Amino acid sequence: MLKGIPKILSPELLKVLCEMGHGDRIVIADGNFPSESVGKDARVIRMDGHGACEVLEAVLALFPLDTYVEKPVNLMEVMPGDKVETPIWAEYGKLVKAADARGPEAIGHIERFAFYEEAREAYAIVATGEGALYANVMLQKGVV
């Protein structure tokens, strides 16, 4: 056991967060995200029993967001024509605000298929059991 480490963070995820360097990206994916196929060339960490907010909060407790880019946090945009509510985005905004002085201004949006393409280049994908739609979030690591 270690002091000060959120209990939800597994040794595998802690190792990945530590290995990542400045500019590397990690995806916290909802339960519908094709983590295994998109992440076939990345590390996929299964956290099926956990929601995206609790994982995001724990990661942000240790993970510096990139200050050299305008939007180090990116969400998957809702597809045109989808009548989907995204209340989880407000929760993400609160979590980012608690971790970064830019708050919600640090959050951008990426079109769905572009998000998949960028996720293919991510260092790791965390596959959660999150049931909210469009709850995928990509973080870009900064420096300490």
Catalytic site positions:
22, 66, 116
Which are the contacts of 89, defined by CB distance < 8 A and separation ≥ 6?
75, 107, 134
Distance from CA of residue 49 to its chain's centroid?
Answer: 16
Check if the beta carbon of residue 30 is closer than 8 Å to that of residue 52: yes
Check if the beta carbon of residue 44 is closer than 8 Å to that of residue 127: yes
Alpha carbons within 13 angstroms on the beta-carbon side of residue 2 total 9
Check if the beta carbon of residue 55 is closer than 8 Å to that of residue 128: yes
The neighbour count for residue 8, using CB atoms within 10 Å, is: 16
